[in-house]
């Protein structure tokens, strides 16, 4: 008994094997008894199968070589034809498992031959049952078997052994490849005994991937090829049935890959889409990559003029410079001439330059019943505010009027019919209800009201450009820039009207002309404006204000271009200017101007970051952080987020008592730092924004960043706490999630008024253009709460205006095309606005409230308008619901949940998706948002008749 007990309690596998082996030797004469010992009755069939298998194994041990081939063939057939349920091991494998070690030793004694190759193939299958004790056996025998075959008759496809075998092989291939990468070829080969070169591993990987793709295991195939670092070769394996699912899965992977793998993935997906003539999808990836050549090729690829129009709408939405489409390929003049001859047709130019955006937007407003202008009272609903009577007298009325200016502008943006400014009687315009610099913002608000409407807008603004009041004139210049944002015209009016004022003596006129140009040509990469603005950055004689705004305007215009000339000039300025000039509050905008050049360029900014490290002034550190985070904006790159967290760790200039929190950084360094002058900690604010900027690209990262912000709020320095609300606003712009709302609502009552102020503004960002009722109620409560605090009340009003932006039709989320593509101009607009709030007291609450108009480039209409092939509106029924992620799911699951059916045009929220309700029309693009062109489905009418 004791011996048996010992056998049961020791969980080692060796004694068991011995027992099984012994059993096999005993089991000749009394079969049934043997089975009874095993504790599992075998059926007749199983007994027969087992006897047959054992006989075959004995055959292989006999000296007669003639019997080997038939025995191996029979073994192969038995293993292949055996069926097994999901939970059990196939019978032949189960019965052969005990013989595996014997067969291994036998295999080594055989001379090389085709029989040995077949033997190795069978061992490779049996090795699956020993994968825990002898890793990578399956792969090893598979490769030996392949090496023993003559080239004329290659080995059969791994798929012929079944799905489980292929999955096993795929897993082992990945492990082996990783081991070889880490330890080098020879060492890894010694360790795992796997023969064959890396190339052999890869070609086997290709065979496995091909099998997986045919059997609906697209994610496994992509993962295997990514592990073997040959993902670009997947293009040859996919066919029209699998490419859709493969591409969807790969796009979802991109956010989790380290560079440069993510770019390789995007380029591979792009190739697949082009191969299968999916032009809109391919173009969206080219825009995401920011590659002018790909954009140009994709735009020229389709022959169908209607498809070209659809692509033109996509290019216009992403503010890609139209020069990208017409660049001559060579330096030769002949080619340049050819390019000039090949003018784009009128209709395409219209789509590309967004000229009809305004008309469509107004029609859309009419359909939704929001064309009527909203008054301030409609937004504030002050009768619902919880105020105590008798306390309203002390509101700073100029402040209230100024807030009214912005609210009116944001709420009626794009409709061009508000009562205070556009439709006001001559002389009773709202402008005159403001003082001095307030007039500038009021005049500029005209531009927002007439957003995108270049024809009517310019004539409205024109009369104010002749005003004798300097601030009104400056405001009207800014208005010209604002209303032309994202719209290109033949006349190039903004440049003609604002160019002359760039060199004006008056600071307000000069600065508003510079900013106006920056907004009007945001993302256009126009060289002629470069020549106009760059001297102001380089000139030591101009104030830091002008130099910084010029740098920012250039950042807007050349966003994401990595333009060396602009970057060089800004770096030069940062090196040469005196320290006391660089200490000014304006320096951060110069740093941002530099950073915007690198939005989305990832490693493209390395040289600039290195140069910045060499500049001693603290502003260089701010710039360095901004450049780094802009380069990785929206990529979800974990390493960058960690790096930014480290920057937030430093407790600068704090009492020693606080240092014992979570950062036990090197004390000596701290001591040295303390002896220096008061250190600049602004860079920490930018690091916090940086976490949000990098994480906002994908949902998992964004969710995790919320926890970090929570920690930073608890443990961070005042400058960090002040910026956390802004970061929350950036992570979830125009996407009011309840948990973030509650957090911000809590922060908006913080003891530190700066935190509260930024939290209130962030509430506006999060709800921008959503008309969110809960948010409006929270803001009304805050208006009552901060009645005596003019600064906070001002911000509450602004937030109310933002939530009702465009009466709920305009959003500021920088992601579009099913939240896959990031608008670089959108990022620029949001960052510039947040930059002004990192020191709200000296910018927004001082004379520079017009900086709120920096949001304009990120404002985009949230609509779906369906057009026929002649580009006239065509109402059809669509379902709108919450977008569901269906990547990698089996079958054809629903892509939206909780939908309602509407007739187009419809409004789409940030996380919503639309699909056509019937199959009567076929859309030219798979993603229904913005302008979508439809064509009649030719098979539809016949179906109708059949029903009759």
SS3 per-residue string spanning 647-704: HHHCCCCCCHHHHHCCCCCCHHHHHHHHHCCCCCCHHHHHHHHHHHHHHCCCHHHHHH
Q: Which of 2-6, 151-155, 399-403, 697-701 has the lowest mean pLDDT?
A: 2-6
Spatial CA neighbour of 726 closest among 840, 633, 837, 815: 837
Interstrand relation of 930-936 and 863-867 (parallel, antiparallel or unpaired) = parallel
Number of Cα atoms under 13 Å in the Cβ half of residue 646: 8
Q: How far is CA 933 from the centre of its chain?
A: 26
More confident residue, 42 or 694: 694
Spatial CA neighbour of 371 closest among 358, 382, 380, 355: 358
Q: Where does the pLDDT of residue 672 fall: very low under 50, low under 70, confident under 90, or very high at 90 and above?
A: very low
- Tokens 């970051």 -> residue: 609
Predicted pLDDT at 655:
40
Q: What is the mean pLDDT of residues 681-700?
A: 92
More confident residue, 334 or 209: 209
Predicted pLDDT at 16:
46
Residue 439 pLDDT > 70: yes
Predicted pLDDT at 62:
87
Residue 684 pLDDT > 90: yes
Q: What does residue 586 show for φ and ψ, rounded to 5 degrees? A: -75, -20
By three-state DSSP, how is residue 274 classified? Answer: helix
Write out the two tokens for 60.
């292989």
Residue 36 pLDDT > 70: no
Interstrand relation of 810-811 and 860-861 (parallel, antiparallel or unpaired) = antiparallel
Residue 349 pLDDT > 70: yes
Q: What is the mean pLDDT of residues 913-937?
A: 94
More confident residue, 21 or 180: 180
Residue 670 pLDDT > 50: no
Residue 320 pLDDT > 50: yes
Write out the two tokens for 12.
């080692």
By three-state DSSP, how is residue 36 classified? Answer: helix
Number of separate helices (H) and strands (E) present in the chain: 46, 11
DSSP state letters, 807-822: GGTEE--SEETTTTEE
Q: How far is CA 737 from the centre of its chain?
A: 18
Predicted pLDDT at 623:
96
With contact defined as beta carbons under 8 Å apart, do 910 and 702 qualify? no
Residue 676 pLDDT > 70: no
d(CA 550, CA 533): 6
Write out the two tokens for 68.
């080997």
Residue 183 pLDDT > 90: no
Q: Where does the pLDDT of residue 333 fall: very low under 50, low under 70, confident under 90, or very high at 90 and above?
A: very low
Q: Where are the alpha helices (DSSP H) in 163-278?
A: 163-183, 185-192, 198-214, 218-227, 243-254, 261-275
Percent of the chain with pLDDT over 70: 88
With contact defined as beta carbons under 8 Å apart, do 757 and 840 qualify? yes
Provide the mean pLDDT of the chain. Answer: 86
Predicted pLDDT at 84:
61
Which of 86-90, 277-281, 661-665 tops mean pLDDT?
Answer: 277-281
Q: What is the mean pLDDT of residues 643-672?
A: 53
Predicted pLDDT at 899:
87
Give 351's contacts (C-beta < 8 A, 6+ positions apart): 309, 312, 313, 316, 871, 931
Q: What is the mean pLDDT of residues 375-397?
A: 70
More confident residue, 397 or 536: 536
R_g of the chain, CA atoms, integer Å = 34
With contact defined as beta carbons under 8 Å apart, do 524 and 325 qualify? no
Write out the two tokens for 662.
């979570």
Residue 23 pLDDT > 80: no
Q: How far is CA 414 from the centre of its chain?
A: 28
Classify the phi-psi angles of 642: left when phi > 0, otherwise alpha if psi is within -120 to 50, otherwise beta.
Answer: alpha
Buried b or exposed e, range 120-144, using 16+ CB within 10 angstroms: bbbbbbbbbbbeeebbbbbbbbbbb
Q: Which of 58-72, 418-432, 776-790, 928-942 has the lowest mean pLDDT?
A: 418-432
The length of the chain, given as a count of residues: 948
Predicted pLDDT at 396:
58
CA torsion sign for 146, 152, 157, 160 is negative
Give 300's contacts (C-beta < 8 A, 6+ positions apart): 325
Classify the phi-psi angles of 85: left when phi > 0, otherwise alpha if psi is within -120 to 50, otherwise beta.
Answer: beta
Q: Where does the pLDDT of residue 387 fall: very low under 50, low under 70, confident under 90, or very high at 90 and above?
A: low
Q: What is the mean pLDDT of residues 396-405?
A: 85
Residue 669 pLDDT > 80: no
Predicted pLDDT at 134:
82
Q: Where does the pLDDT of residue 877 fall: very low under 50, low under 70, confident under 90, or very high at 90 and above?
A: very high
Interstrand relation of 921-923 and 930-936 (parallel, antiparallel or unpaired) = antiparallel
d(CA 419, CA 416): 9
Q: How far is CA 200 from the centre of its chain?
A: 36
More confident residue, 64 or 760: 760
Predicted pLDDT at 906:
94
Percent of the chain with pLDDT over 90: 58
Residue 339 pLDDT > 70: no
Q: Where does the pLDDT of residue 224 fall: very low under 50, low under 70, confident under 90, or very high at 90 and above?
A: very high
Write out the two tokens for 690.
């940086």
Number of Cα atoms under 13 Å in the Cβ half of residue 625: 26
Q: What does residue 608 show for φ and ψ, rounded to 5 degrees? A: -65, -40
Predicted pLDDT at 80:
85
Classify the phi-psi angles of 818: left when phi > 0, otherwise alpha if psi is within -120 to 50, otherwise beta.
Answer: left
Predicted pLDDT at 85:
61
Write out the two tokens for 695.
């994480």
Residue 3 pLDDT > 70: no
Global pTM? Answer: 0.88
Q: Which of 11-15, 192-196, 818-822 has the lowest mean pLDDT?
A: 11-15
Q: What does residue 635 show for φ and ψ, rounded to 5 degrees? A: -90, -15
Q: Which of 127-131, 291-295, 425-429, 557-561 has the lowest mean pLDDT?
A: 425-429
Number of neighbouring beta carbons within 10 Å of residue 859: 27
Mapping DSSP onto H, E and C, the string for 539-590 reads CCCCCHHHHHHHHHHHHHHCCCCCCHHHHHHHHHHHHHCCHHHHCCCCHHHH
Q: Which tens digit of pLDDT belongs to each residue from 579-631?
A: 899 999 999 999 999 999 999 998 899 999 999 999 999 999 999 999 999 99
Q: What is the DSSP letter of 873?
A: B
Spatial CA neighbour of 589 closest among 624, 544, 625, 532: 544
By three-state DSSP, how is residue 484 classified? Answer: coil
Residue 491 pLDDT > 50: yes
Q: Where are the alpha helices (DSSP H) in 342-422?
A: 346-352, 357-368, 376-380, 397-411
d(CA 150, CA 173): 23
Q: Where does the pLDDT of residue 221 fall: very low under 50, low under 70, confident under 90, or very high at 90 and above?
A: very high
């Amino acid at each position: 008994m004791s011996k048996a007990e010992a056998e049961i309690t020791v969980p080692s596998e060796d004694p068991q094997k011995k027992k099984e082996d012994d059993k096999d030797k005993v089991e000749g004469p009394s079969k049934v008894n043997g089975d009874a010992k095993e504790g599992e009755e075998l059926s007749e069939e199983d007994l027969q199968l087992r006897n047959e298998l054992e006989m075959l194994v004995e055959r292989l041990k006999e000296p007669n070589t003639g019997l080997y081939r038939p025995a191996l063939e029979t073994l192969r057939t038995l293993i292949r034809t055996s069926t097994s349920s999901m939970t059990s091991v196939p019978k032949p494998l189960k019965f052969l498992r005990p013989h595996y070690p014997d067969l291994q030793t036998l295999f080594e004694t055989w001379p090389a031959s085709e029989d040995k190759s077949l033997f190795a193939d069978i061992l490779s299958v049996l090795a699956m049952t020993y994968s825990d004790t002898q890793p990578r056996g399956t792969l090893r025998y598979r490769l030996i078997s392949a090496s023993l075959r003559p080239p004329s008759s290659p080995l059969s496809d791994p798929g012929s052994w079944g799905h489980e075998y292929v999955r096993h092989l795929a897993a082992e291939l990945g492990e082996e490849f990783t081991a070889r990468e880490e330890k080098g070829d020879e060492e890894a080969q010694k360790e795992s005994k796997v023969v064959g070169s890396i190339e052999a591993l890869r070609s086997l990987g290709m065979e496995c991937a091909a099998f997986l793709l045919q059997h609906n295991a697209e994610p496994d195939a992509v993962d295997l090829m990514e592990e073997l670092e040959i993902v670009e070769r997947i293009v040859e394996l996919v066919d029209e049935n699998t490419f859709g699912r493969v591409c969807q899965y790969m796009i979802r992977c991109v956010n989790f890959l380290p560079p440069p793998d993510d770019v390789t993935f995007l380029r591979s997906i792009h190739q697949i889409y082009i191969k299968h003539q999916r032009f809109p999808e391919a173009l969206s990836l080219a825009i995401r990559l920011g590659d002018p050549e790909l954009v140009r090729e994709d735009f020229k690829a389709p022959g169908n003029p209607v498809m070209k129009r659809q692509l033109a709408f996509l290019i216009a939405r992403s503010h890609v410079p139209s020069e990208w489409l017409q660049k001559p390929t060579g330096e030769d003049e002949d080619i340049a001439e050819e390019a000039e001859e090949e003018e784009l047709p009128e209709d395409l130019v219209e789509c590309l330059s967004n000229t009809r955006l305004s008309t469509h937007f107004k029609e859309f407003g009419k359909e939704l019943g929001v064309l009527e202008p909203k008054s301030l009272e409609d937004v504030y609903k002050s009768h619902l505010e919880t105020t105590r009577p008798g306390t309203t007298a002390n509101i700073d009325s100029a402040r209230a009027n100024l807030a009214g200016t912005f609210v009116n502008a944001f709420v009626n943006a794009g409709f061009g019919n508000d009562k205070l400014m556009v439709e006001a009687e001559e002389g009773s315009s709202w402008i005159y209800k403001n003082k001095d610099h307030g007039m500038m913002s009021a005049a500029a608000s005209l531009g927002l009201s007439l957003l995108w409407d270049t024809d009517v807008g310019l004539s409205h603004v024109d009369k104010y450009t002749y005003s004798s009041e300097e601030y009104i004139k400056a405001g009207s210049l800014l208005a010209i820039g604002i209303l032309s944002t994202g719209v290109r015209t033949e006349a190039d009016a903004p440049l003609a009207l604002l160019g002359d004022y760039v060199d004006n003596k008056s600071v307000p006129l000069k600065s508003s002309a510079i900013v106006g140009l920056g907004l009007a040509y945001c993302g256009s990469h126009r060289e002629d404006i470069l020549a106009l603005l760059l001297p102001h950055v380089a000139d030591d004689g101009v104030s830091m204000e002008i130099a910084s705004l010029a740098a920012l305007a250039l950042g807007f215009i050349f966003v994401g271009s990595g333009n060396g000339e602009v970057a060089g000039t800004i770096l030069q300025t940062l090196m040469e200017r005196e320290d006391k000039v660089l200490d000014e509050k304006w320096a951060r905008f110069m740093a941002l101007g530099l950073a915007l050049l690198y939005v989305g360029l990832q490693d493209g900014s390395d040289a600039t970051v290195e140069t910045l490290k060499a500049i001693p002034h603290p502003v260089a550190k701010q710039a360095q952080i901004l450049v780094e985070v802009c380069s990785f904006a929206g990529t979800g790159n974990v390493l960058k987020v960690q790096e930014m967290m480290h920057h937030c760790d430093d407790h600068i200039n704090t009492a020693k008592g606080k240092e014992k929190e979570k950062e036990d950084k090197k004390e000596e360094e701290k001591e040295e730092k303390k002896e220096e002058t008061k250190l600049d900690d602004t860079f920490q604010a930018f690091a916090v924004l940086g976490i949000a900027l990098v994480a906002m690209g994908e949902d998992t990262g964004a969710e995790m960043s919320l926890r970090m912000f929570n920690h930073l709020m608890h443990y961070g320095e005042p400058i960090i706490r002040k910026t956390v609300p802004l970061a929350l606003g950036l992570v979830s712009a125009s996407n009011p999630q309840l948990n973030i709302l509650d957090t911000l609502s809590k922060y908006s009552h913080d003891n530190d008024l700066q935190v509260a102020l930024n939290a209130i503004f962030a509430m506006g960002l999060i709800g921008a253009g959503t008309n969110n009722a809960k948010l409006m109620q929270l803001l009304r409560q805050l208006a009552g709460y901060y009645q005596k605090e003019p600064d906070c009340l001002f911000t509450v009003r602004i937030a109310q205006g933002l939530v009702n932006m465009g009466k709920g039709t305009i959003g500021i989320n920088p992601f579009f095309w099913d939240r896959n593509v990031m608008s670089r101009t959108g990022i620029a607009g949001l960052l510039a606005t947040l930059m002004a709030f990192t020191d709200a007291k000296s910018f927004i609450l001082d004379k520079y409230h017009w900086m709120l108009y920096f949001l304009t480039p990120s404002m985009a209409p949230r609509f779906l308008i369906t057009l026929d092939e002649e580009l006239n509106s065509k109402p059809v029924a669509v379902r709108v619901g919450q977008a569901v992620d269906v990547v990698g799911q089996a079958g054809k699951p629903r892509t939206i949940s909780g939908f309602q059916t509407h007739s187009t045009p419809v409004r789409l929220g940030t996380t919503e998706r639309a699909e056509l309700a019937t199959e009567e029309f076929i859309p030219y693009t798979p993603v229904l948002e913005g302008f979508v062109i439809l064509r009649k489905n030719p098979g539809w009418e016949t179906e109708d008749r059949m029903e009759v």
